[in-house]
Amino acid sequence: MPHKINRIHAQMKAKHRFLQKKTCLRCGEQLLDLATPVVMGILNVTPDSFFAGSRASTADAVAAHVYRMLVEGAAIVDVGACSTRPGADEVSPTEELRRLCPALEVVRGKFPQVVVSVDTFRAEVVREVVAQFGAVIVNDISGGQRDEKMFETVARLSLPYVLMHTRGTPQTMQQLTDYGDLMGEVVRYLSEKLSALHGMGVCDVILDPGFGFAKTTGQNFELLSRMEEFDIFELPLLAGLSRKSMVCRTLNVTPAEALNGTTALNMLALAKGADILRVHDVKEAAEAVALAAAAGVAAAPQACS
C-alpha cells in the first residue's frame, strides 16, 4: 500500500509540475511563449557537424533550410558556427563570426519573426552578433566555463541564456564521465551557475541537462528518466537528444538512421517536462509535441503575458 500511495503522489506531482514554471521569455522585442512546448530547429554553418542534414553553407541553402523549419513548426532557429561534436576541432573567434554573420543576415532579413538562438561559448561572438543583428538567445554549451566574460555579457545585454551541464571541452569531455552521484552533481552544477547568473541580474534562463556531453550512454538515459527532478528550479527545460550517440549506440544505427529513435526519446522528454526540443528534424518533433499535448502530458496552464 505505501508503494501505491507514493506512486499516486508522484503521478499527481507530475501532472501539476508546470504550475510554477516560468513560461515566458523575452528576447529583445520578442516574447517566446512556452505555455506549450516548442521546437528549436538546428542550423549548422559548419563543414563538420556530426549530422550532414543540418548543414548549410550558402545563403540560398540557409534560406531554404530555415524556411522549411518554420513551415514545419519551429519556434526557434539555433545557429551554430563551431562544431561541438566529441573530438571536434575548435575554430577561432574570427572564423566563427565569418561563418555566423552571413547566415544571421539571411535569417534576420528573410525571417524577422523567428526567435534566433546562437550556439556559442564566446562572449565576443555574442557581443558582435547583438551589435549587428539584435538580441538572441545565447546557447552556451560550456555553462560559462570557457569564457569568464560570458555571464556578465549576457547580463549587460539582457539576453536569454541556455545553461547547459558539461565537463571539459568537446575534445576532452568523453574522458570526464566519472560521477559519484550523477543527478546530484548535475543539479549542484546548475544551482551554482544559476546563483551566479541571478546575482548578475539574468532573469531568463533555460536549463539543459547536456545529453551527450561528458556522459556515457547509461548516464544519458538516467538523466532522461529523471528529468522531472529539474522542476525544482521552476525554469524552462531544453532537451537536446536529436540523433545523438545514445540513440545510435542503443539501436546500432548511424546518425542518418536515428530519426525514429530520436522521436521516441523526444516523446519521453516531453512526458518528463521538456519545454524545448532542440532537433535536426522539425516536422517529426512538432508532431510529437502535438501528440503529447493531445495526451495531456505536454501542456502548461499559463500563457505568455
pLDDT tens digits along 151-199 = 999 999 999 999 999 998 887 888 889 999 999 999 999 999 999 999 9
Q: How many CB atoms lie within 10 A of CB 133?
A: 18
The pTM assigned to this predicted structure is 0.88
Which residues are known catalytic residues? 244, 278
pLDDT band for position 86 (50/70/90)?
low
pLDDT tens digits, one per residue of 131-163 = 999 999 999 999 999 999 999 999 999 999 999
Task: Please give the CATH architecture assigned to the domain spanning 33-294.
Answer: Alpha-Beta Barrel (3.20)
Residue 50 has pLDDT above 50, yes or no: no
